[in-house]
Structure 1
């Protein structure tokens, strides 16, 4: 028997509705957008038992299907993580409104005035694996910045995403914002269709594995903001405080190993390797970290040898590759060769070495004497983030509100015409910046 044909998904209609709702949202006063954000926070608090129960069901189903440990860790939404997400919603509400800011105010000529004014991007397409807390962050940032958003979560988080969007829609119905500004897609087929909606979507932000992000980038004409890898490094310099270095190493690897800003490679200067590596190894193995090392490291530690592929592997788990280098220059070259441009850090008490590292490492986030785990929109004071971008052009690094607005040029005249400013009797522009 021939299988019945599945009706095409009405994504055009969904996208049109989202764009229309977003246009209305974009012109709402800051106060009304902030009221909606607070309404969402309160609704999430009230619905916490229902949300957590849905997530438990997702986790149980995912475990039964043999979900990978890093993905499971991202999927799990316990009370602590949910409360932190709700706190992030309220933090977004407290941030300065990024919409309607005059960046340039210039007189081109008497009565002819130019303004460059920030405005929302439009409609965002957010495609993410596992993390239901990302949905909460993204929604609050979208509303604050005046953008509509079409969300597509991973199949493993479908119950969590559905209850979250249901709660958010109920909250928005009590405000001036049309709930259509937030949409949720639930099937894999919808992703392919979504990527073709360049008429209605202005930006795609994928959050997931390397292969997942690359698939998105290769299958759409819509601009894509994101990163494919989180291959982060920590370099322990010969002038490092070794106790400080051990503490930072342990935190950067084990505080939350499943995320993209955890380190995957530890680089150690040869001058301090014989002393530092045993100290670091003892602290890391105590936390069940599997260590892999280059030839020089394996002469100091009894661990498995690292392979060439390990230097470009994002483990997202308790595995760490270690390499001994002879100089800061060699460390920087290794990072720029194998790194993904996400986050890299140096531990040193030598300020010149630190400045050299910060200036020469090609990454969106470069740190000195602190854990790579600080590469995060919430920790940067952005309230939350829609993702982290490793692109050279802005927005770069954790993307919060400032990355969700663009700008337009507004010119106001009094009957001015361009012909006045050409020819032998051309009038000169004043080009005077105004307060």
Structure 2
């Protein structure tokens, strides 16, 4: 194929994607005008459609997993890729949970009289069109689509190549559910090629928010190649600090759950910090539990004096394993633990185990992260567990939304001002009227 032919083909593909985005935007405008009941009915239709397509979806996922295994997929990615009946049922349950949530649209956040007959309101409304790019997480299709529909947004999805068959089966079922209740299926679109990803990042006229879900390098690539606002997080380097006043059994249970309940998750711990006064007893008691879960332990020099394990290197403190590996460091104080988290943490989720209320308060105040926990597993950092129904992702940025992003992160607001011939000139000059600024 000649260079001119390749250029023509790329141009044609780009035009096609622009038209797709235009259709999604138009569909989103109509969706955002529908009453709460209509959007909830759409979610129930989607849930039923997914249930009816379960065998087709799981068969598609089985092929994806087989191909990915043959290509040597990493164990962490495989864990995210794999769908089973229970995982799919949980995702479908999440759709119905979203339907039960309060409607985030048309909420009056401010109702203020500026002057008699001049009333200002701030009212929530959809963002418009979401562009969501993710790696090896087919269940994300269900979570994101349900949140988008509930919040009146259109969504353009781009899954990883390893999950293409799974994503196609899921989107097909979702679109069929939408059609059953008379909603344009263009509200949920699926892209399948890398070229489309690059083109999507250029559609700042039609896409209002990009949400990347994947590796650090992947998220950084997205952030560096678009003018569209980006919501998400690059790393999930989470810590658990076991304080000298920790309850031993409680600390072991929390550490095991935080590492092994789902090690591929971004809210699993990668580093275990242990106060030196409790370190010998805690580590000797915990090592059996970790080994029973096939966790590889790596430790600093002080840890190696207690446990016969692999030495940790400097790189371990800044590594997101997403696997059954944990690095252990013994620290002399709460202040040193916080300093380590400040230096190496990703502002995702950090936890402390202690029975000292003041120590816990200091930790939770001084640690800068989207989630800071006391005496519980970091695995609770999840939109479903927070009661959001589901999440489109977790944001570690300082500006809101922060942490697991559910419906509230997918709406914005507009100011609506209604008067009766009011003009600004009436409020200027020597005989200016005064504003009442009265909340109604």
Q: 1:193 is matched with which residue?
A: 199
User: In the alignment, is residue 165 of structure 1 matched against residue 171 of structure 2?
Assistant: yes
Query: CA separation in 1, counterparts of 2:221 and 2:150?
Result: 29
Q: 1:65 is matched with which residue?
A: 71
After TM superposition, list the pairs within 5 Å mapping 1:22-421 onto structure 2: 22-421=28-427
Is the 1:33–1:144 Cα contact (8 Å) retained in structure 2?
yes
Query: CA separation in 2, counterparts of 1:283 and 1:223?
Result: 43
Unaligned runs of 5+ in 2: none
**How big is each residue's C-alpha offset from its partner over 1:91-121, in whole Å with a ceiling of 9 and x where there is no partner?**
0000000000000000000000000000001
Q: 2:21 is matched with which residue?
A: 15
Query: CA separation in 1, counterparts of 2:429 and 2:343?
Result: 54
Q: What is the deviation of 1:176? A: 3.3
Query: CA separation in 1, counterparts of 2:341 and 2:104?
Result: 34
Query: CA separation in 2, counterparts of 1:102 and 1:397?
Result: 24
Query: CA separation in 2, counterparts of 1:406 and 1:336?
Result: 31
Find the residue that maps to 1:37 and give its secondary structure.
helix
Q: What is the deviation of 1:360? A: 0.6
Query: CA separation in 1, counterparts of 2:357 and 2:431?
Result: 59
Q: What is the deviation of 1:155? A: 0.3
Query: CA separation in 1, counterparts of 2:286 and 2:117?
Result: 67
Q: What is the deviation of 1:424? A: 1.3
TM-score, normalization by structure 1: 0.99
Find the residue that maps to 1:173 and give its secondary structure.
helix
Q: What is the deviation of 1:177? A: 1.7
Q: What is the Cα-based RMSD across aligned positions, in Å?
A: 0.8
Q: What is the deviation of 1:25? A: 0.4
TM-score, normalization by structure 2: 0.98
Unaligned runs of 5+ in 1: none
Query: CA separation in 2, counterparts of 1:237 and 1:406?
Result: 41
Query: CA separation in 2, counterparts of 1:393 and 1:280?
Result: 38
Query: CA separation in 2, counterparts of 1:374 and 1:421?
Result: 53
Query: CA separation in 1, counterparts of 2:113 and 2:352?
Result: 47
Q: What is the deviation of 1:431? A: 0.3
Query: CA separation in 1, counterparts of 2:429 and 2:21?
Result: 48
Is the 1:32–1:176 Cα contact (8 Å) retained in structure 2?
no
Query: CA separation in 2, counterparts of 1:363 and 1:31?
Result: 37
Alignment length (residue pairs): 434
Query: CA separation in 1, counterparts of 2:147 and 2:237?
Result: 26
Query: CA separation in 2, counterparts of 1:174 and 1:429?
Result: 51
Q: What is the deviation of 1:2? A: 4.4
Larger mean CA deviation between 353-362 and 1-10 belongs to: 1-10
Query: CA separation in 1, counterparts of 2:427 and 2:315?
Result: 62
Query: CA separation in 2, counterparts of 1:321 and 1:69?
Result: 19
